[in-house]
């Protein structure tokens, strides 16, 4: 961490923190909530590293008032949370579950009372299991069901949510959940997962139209991005890097900005129907950028099913997730987006940026996490450097407010500014919480 003073940020810059429903809410059967694909996946033996589930998670469903108090103490201007689709629509179709919407009603009002802008993500991977049983995102009808859900939710909350995000990281949901099978719903289809890409994007476009009919608040999508670092300078390595970049960074961005699908992504021609690309390219007000690390890439060995292989980037320090800590990658990524898309690029908000470390209370009950402070310091400075270079970045959200249930890793990875004792649900702000509070105040 540099000792240089933190530079100022533009007036109105949005400072926030992020969470997601299945990772923190718990209460998976409360008040009519239906089952999600993550309920099913987590209860399947061998799927989760520590054998845990999100049944209780951080019990945010019952403790949301305490968590809003933590947000108020942090002083952030915005809180990005996700709405559990099966809490609002237990089977993913039909009328809304009033009790489910009531919970988000209470949460949104509590945030506004605390002076915190609600930023709501509609889909953070927790598809209703009933929709998965009917084909899930492999099935075109799920896009229409998503738009229906967006309409029901915005009809109730659209007057108070300050920014709507349709999808969270559709690339990760496609790749880990449908191509590789390590996330819910656990499908291992490799390139057979491409329909999931198109149907998620179509669902996004249809949801944008539904949201516009219900609210004047801005609309966004949150994509995961990873700049490519090549293992060598050969033509084969460069081709591999271009293939990975098209898949990870362009597949879910080019169509949003009216450029169609990038070459080499090999979507079945029958998958994209007349009008689909126009729907997907409906104008958005913000592009959410989730960044954790760059990806090392080299040419694949002969006979590999993929045109690239991922390699470790050894010159960087590592998080407890074994991810490289590379703030320069965030600056590089933001500049790349700016140069690649030019005037077509809407304002950017960094909607996730964070790191996992093995944080535990000391003998006095305090939680010191200097590595997280150093991580955030470097990444915040990288954002400022990108702004200075002309990139329209208007916000930065830390992942995450709370230690939480980390998908297939269960409770083994801690990302929070606040430590959670999962046995007692006690919340303990870490030293990074105080650091970020002081940054926001400055």
Is the model's pTM score more than 0.95?
yes
Burial of 260 (0-12, 13-18, 19+ CB in 10 A): middle
E strand or H helix at 87: helix 85-88
pLDDT of 355-389, one tens digit each? Answer: 999 999 999 999 999 999 999 999 999 999 999 99
Q: Per the annotation, does 407 bind a ligand? A: yes
Q: Per the annotation, does 124 bind a ligand? A: yes
Q: Is residue 2 part of a domain?
A: no
Tokens read off for 383: 């954002």
* Predicted confidence band of residue 3 (pLDDT cuts 50, 70, 90): confident
Distance in angstroms (rounded) separating the CA atoms of residues 314 and 326: 11
Q: What is the mean pLDDT of residues 63-80?
A: 98
Q: Per the annotation, does 406 bind a ligand? A: yes
Tokens read off for 345: 């690029």
- How high does pLDDT run on average in the chain? 97
E strand or H helix at 6: none
Q: What is the mean pLDDT of residues 190-205?
A: 97
CB atoms within 10 A of CB 99: 13
Distance in angstroms (rounded) separating the CA atoms of residues 199 and 216: 25
Q: Per the annotation, does 168 bind a ligand? A: yes
Residue 268 scores a pLDDT above 90: no
Q: Which of 112-121, 144-153, 247-256, 300-309 has the lowest mean pLDDT?
A: 300-309
Distance in angstroms (rounded) separating the CA atoms of residues 316 and 233: 20
Nearest to 24, CA basis, from 68, 46, 56, 70: 56
E strand or H helix at 225: strand 219-225
C-alpha torsion sign, points 312, 315, 320, 326: negative
Q: Identify the DSSP state of 347.
A: P
Q: Is residue 174 part of a domain?
A: yes
Residue 290 scores a pLDDT above 80: yes
Q: Is residue 8 part of a domain?
A: no
Q: What is the mean pLDDT of residues 240-261?
A: 97
Beta strands per DSSP E along 67-106: 78-82
Tokens read off for 101: 């919407």
Predicted local confidence at residue 329, as pLDDT: 98
Q: What is the mean pLDDT of residues 193-214?
A: 98
Given a contact cutoff of 8 angstroms between Cβ atoms, the answer to whether 251 and 266 are in contact is no
pLDDT of 41-61, one tens digit each? Answer: 999 999 999 999 999 999 999
Phi, psi (rounded to 5 degrees) for 370: -60, -30
Q: How many residues does the chain have?
A: 442
Q: Is residue 3 part of a domain?
A: no
* Predicted confidence band of residue 155 (pLDDT cuts 50, 70, 90): very high
Domain that holds residue 103: 14-441
Residue 18 forms beta bridges with which residues? 80, 399
Kindly list the distances between the CA atom of residue 411 and the CA atoms of 23, 364, 373, in Å, as whole numbers in the listed order: 10, 23, 21
Q: Is residue 247 part of a domain?
A: yes
Distance in angstroms (rounded) separating the CA atoms of residues 163 and 104: 15
Degrees to nearest 5, angle at CA 137 with 133 and 140: 100
Residue 78 scores a pLDDT above 90: yes
Number of structural domains the chain divides into: 1
Q: Is residue 86 part of a domain?
A: yes
Tokens read off for 258: 């009216």
Q: Per the annotation, does 399 bind a ligand? A: yes
Q: Is residue 1 part of a domain?
A: no
Domain with residue 427: its CATH number is 3.20.20.80
pLDDT > 90 in the chain, percent? 96
Residues annotated as part of the active site: 169, 352
Q: Is residue 38 part of a domain?
A: yes
Distance in angstroms (rounded) separating the CA atoms of residues 28 and 284: 32
pLDDT of 297-343, one tens digit each? Answer: 999 998 899 999 999 999 999 999 999 999 999 999 999 999 999 99
pLDDT of 209-220, one tens digit each? Answer: 999 999 999 999
pLDDT of 117-138, one tens digit each? Answer: 999 999 999 999 999 999 999 9
Q: Per the annotation, does 292 bind a ligand? A: yes
Predicted local confidence at residue 281, as pLDDT: 98
């Amino acid at each position: 961490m540099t000792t240089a003073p933190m530079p100022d940020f533009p007036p109105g810059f949005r400072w926030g923190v992020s969470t997601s429903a299945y990772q923190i809410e718990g209460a998976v059967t409360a008040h009519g909530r239906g089952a999600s694909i993550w309920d099913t996946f987590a209860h399947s033996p061998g799927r989760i590293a520590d054998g845990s589930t999100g049944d209780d998670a951080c019990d945010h469903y019952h403790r949301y008032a305490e968590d809003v108090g933590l947000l108020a103490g942090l002083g952030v201007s915005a809180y990005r949370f996700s709405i559990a689709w099966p809490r609002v629509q237990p089977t993913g179709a039909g009328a809304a579950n009033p009790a489910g919407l009531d919970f988000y009603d209470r949460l949104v009002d509590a945030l506004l009372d605390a002076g915190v802008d609600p930023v709501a993500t509609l889909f953070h991977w927790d598809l209703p299991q009933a929709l998965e049983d009917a084909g899930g995102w492999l099935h075109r009808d799920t896009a229409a069901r998503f738009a229906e859900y967006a309409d029901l939710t915005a009809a109730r909350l659209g007057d108070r949510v300050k920014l709507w995000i349709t999808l969270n990281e559709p690339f990760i949901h496609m790749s880990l959940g449908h191509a590789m099978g390590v996330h819910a719903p656990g499908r291992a289809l490799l390139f057979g997962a491409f329909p999931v890409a198109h149907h998620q994007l179509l669902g996004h476009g249809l949801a944008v139209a539904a949201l516009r009919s219900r609210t004047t608040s801005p609309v966004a999508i949150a994509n995961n991005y990873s700049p490519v670092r090549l293992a060598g300078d050969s033509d084969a390595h460069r081709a591999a890097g271009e293939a990975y970049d098209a898949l990870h960074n362009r597949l879910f961005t080019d169509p949003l900005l009216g450029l169609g699908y990038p070459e080499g992504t090999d979507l079945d021609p029958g998958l994209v129907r007349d009008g689909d690309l126009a729907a997907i390219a409906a104008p958005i007000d913000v592009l959410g950028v989730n960044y954790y690390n760059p990806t090392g890439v080299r040419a694949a060995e002969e006979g590999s099913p993929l045109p690239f292989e991922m390699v470790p980037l050894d010159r960087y320090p590592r998080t407890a997730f074994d991810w490289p800590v590379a703030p320069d990658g965030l600056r590089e990524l933001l500049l790349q987006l700016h140069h690649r898309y030019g005037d077509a690029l809407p304002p950017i908000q960094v909607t996730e940026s964070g790191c996992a470390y093995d944080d535990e209370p000391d003998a006095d009950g305090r939680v010191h996490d200097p590595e997280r402070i150093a991580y955030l310091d470097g990444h915040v400075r990288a954002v400022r450097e990108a702004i200075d270079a002309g990139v329209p970045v208007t916000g930065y959200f830390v992942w995450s407010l709370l230690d939480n249930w980390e998908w297939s890793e269960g409770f083994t990875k801690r990302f929070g500014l606040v430590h959670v004792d999962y046995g007692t649900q006690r919340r303990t702000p870490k030293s990074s919480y105080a650091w970020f509070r002081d940054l926001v105040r400055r």
